[in-house]
Amino acid sequence: MVFLKRISTRDKWLFFYYASLTAVLILLLALFYYVYPSKAYYYFTGRIHTIIEFSLLTYIFSFSISNKNVRKAILFLIIPFLILSIIDYLSSKEPAVAYMPLMTESLFFIILIIYFFFEKIKHDVNEPLFNKFIFWFAVAFLLNFAGNFLLFVYSETSNKEDDFKTNYTIIYSIVTIVKNILLCIAAIIKEPLKPKTGLYDGLIPDADFKNILNTRKP
């Protein structure tokens, strides 16, 4: 409820949709793992989650990228990622984790978020970054994708060690807990609505975005 009352910007609405879809997919994963065990449906649901996560996170970050060419480029990359995910799925001989799409996603967002911080440090000097939702959001996912990438490397190099599963679970749990704490901080940050500037020409300003969601009818 606290978060819903603070949804006053486009970024937070998009994050709300992302979190809601993620929650539904996690429930499906639990269903196909514990209630109606099915490796095929379980891994397929995981692949769907990866595609949705990549697309929505890319869309969210695109609104905070100042360079128009970069913004258009990262949005265009959703299509090649979708194609990669489909090819990886079709080429899999049996249900399995989508390592290639997941590795690609992790590397992509590590680079994108580092670029995002570079832009903000270079241009946004009037207001502290830590007062903004997108700052904590970016830190959370930078930690998440960096941790996931290291876990992928660790699983490829040390999966035969006796304590591999224990170490993997501990690292994954710590990364996930810290990420969720940072996202909670991001969710309760209250930002003032900013007037539209030439920086986001052609995009919907935050105040109008909320009004459209409240008034649009099917």
Residue 215 lies in a domain: no
Question: How would you write the pLDDT of the chain (218 residues) with one tens digit per residue?
Answer: 555 565 667 888 888 889 999 999 999 999 999 999 999 999 999 999 999 999 999 999 999 998 999 999 999 999 999 999 999 999 988 888 888 999 999 999 999 999 999 998 887 666 677 788 899 999 999 999 999 999 888 887 777 777 888 888 899 999 999 999 999 998 888 766 555 444 444 444 455 545 545 555 45
- In angstroms, the Cα distances linking 200 to 85, 125, 153 are 31, 18, 38
- 197 closest CA partner among 63, 58, 106, 3: 63
- Return the closest-CA partner of residue 148 out of 54, 13, 44, 21: 54
Q: How many domains does the chain fold into?
A: 1
In the numeric block, the tokens 């270079």 are attached to 122
**Does the pTM exceed 0.85?**
no
Is 202 inside a domain boundary?
A: no
Domain membership flag for residue 157: yes
Residue 18 resides in a domain? yes
Query: Got the DSSP string for 137-161?
Result: HHHHHHHHHHHHHHHHHHHHHHTTS
Two tokens, residue 71: 């913004």
Burial (Cβ within 10 Å: 0-12, 13-18, ≥19) of residue 177: exposed
Asked if the structure places residue 183 within a domain, the reply is yes
User: Is residue 199 assigned to a domain?
Assistant: no
SS3 11: helix
205 lies in some domain = no
Tokens of 143: 């930690």
CB environment 110-140: b (16+ within 10 A), e (fewer)? bebbeebeeebeeeeeeeeeeebbbbbbbbb
Report yes or no on 150 lying in a domain.
yes
What's the full length of the chain, in residues?
218
Token code pair at residue 199: 């920086």
Domain of 166 in residue numbering reads as: 2-192
